[in-house]
Amino acid sequence: MRIAANIAIAFVAVEHVFILILEMFLWTKPFGRRVFGLTPELAQSSRVLAANQGLYNGFLAAGLFWSLIIGSPSAAIFFLGCVIAAGIFGAITAKASILWTQGLPAAIALAIVLLAR
């Protein structure tokens, strides 16, 4: 069960690295605009905010990877909880699908981590 927990944590961490790349480097590019449904003008005017958001997603990924490196379920629980909170907040304030794309994988990973303890 511990292996499944580690795989789930790694999945969420990798997902957040991908989000970091999207928000920090691809926000104004055609692929990034398509993913987020942005016009070129909106993407350009919001690129600094998106880069900041991407950096925070990178910190979540770093925390999850760190929890794997040190073998700490407690750290994983904390960072997965942060991802879930961010997913809920994003769903309420930005786009409902954030709950399913970020919050749900983190919630599943959290459940697996708790079961593996």
**pLDDT tens-digit map of 65-98:** 999 999 999 999 999 999 999 999 999 999 999 9
Q: What's the confidence (pLDDT) of residue 63? A: 98
Contact 106, 87 (CB under 8 A): yes
d(CA 82, CA 7): 18
Read off the amino acid at residue 34.
R
In terms of Cα–Cα distance, which of 101, 75, 74 is closest to 86? 101
What pLDDT, on the 0 to 100 scale, is given for residue 24?
98
Within 26-103, residue ranges assigned H as helices are: 30-36, 40-45, 47-70, 73-93, 97-98
The pTM of this model reads 0.94
